[in-house]
A and B are shown apart, each in its own frame.
Chain A
Amino acid sequence: AQKITQTQPGMFVQEKEAVTLDCTYDTSDQSYGLFWYKQPSSGEMIFLIYQGSYDEQNATEGRYSLNFQKARKSANLVISASQLGDSAMYFCAMREGSNTGNQFYFGTGTSLTVIP
């Protein structure tokens, strides 16, 4: 089974609107971390936001927020007030607490296009 599933290959959003990028995960660990990264066309991977499995509050970082639903094993990224510069690939990732090698599992990504 896939550890991280992103079911939206591509998404479009109107500028200034909000958009939700879906991510579901699969783990039997109690301790784990969920991460979102942005990858513009230039290629660099930009860390956006983190959610810990024990965090009771949804993480927020500026215009980014994470809708964490533990029982459903989902960690959707919400981008508010979309800007043209938000057009990029977005990857959801997970790090399991039991993984002593510290590897991350990445989803297949969602390509977001912001329309003026």
Chain B
Amino acid sequence: GAVVSQHPSWVICKSGTSVKIECRSLDFQATTMFWYRQFPKQSLMLMATSNEGSKATYEQGVEKDKFLINHASLTLSTLTVTSAHPEDSSFYICSAILPGGTSNQPQHFGDGTRLSIL
């Protein structure tokens, strides 16, 4: 149980295009999802907390207009990298927690998306 699906796994696109990444909870409803960015050989950096039906909460230093997050349903959150540039190339990974979770609930992660901007 508690499976999170992330799509696509790989994206290669030209500079200036927008890229949408989807994160789905397959067998549970996730009121809260998280989006992380990870550079090679580094830890996960929390970008934003995505809450169903409300605006995402962005971490300090993350451009809201650059990284658009939409959590329109209890099973889907999307991250759109707008007007992507080479410096946006990175590994993006989402996670979700079971609803009503207490501090003993792990975050369940998608498999991540490797984004390469040419």
> Which residue numbers of A lie inside 8 Å of B, CB to CB?
31-33, 35, 37, 42-45, 47, 50, 52-53, 89, 91, 93, 95-97, 101-104, 106-109, 111
> Which residue numbers of B lie inside 8 Å of A, CB to CB?
32, 34, 41-44, 46, 49, 57, 91, 93, 95, 97, 101-112, 114
Find the B residue at minimum CB distance from A9: B41
Interchain nearest-CB distance for B26 vs A (Å): 15
B104/A50 in contact, CB under 8 A: yes
**Can you list 9 A-B pairs, Cβ within 8 angstroms, ordered by A?**
A43-B114, A44-B111, A45-B95, A91-B44, A97-B103, A102-B32, A104-B46, A104-B107, A109-B43
Interchain nearest-CB distance for A51 vs B (Å): 9
B109/A33 in contact, CB under 8 A: no
Find the A residue at minimum CB distance from B109: A45
B112/A102 in contact, CB under 8 A: no
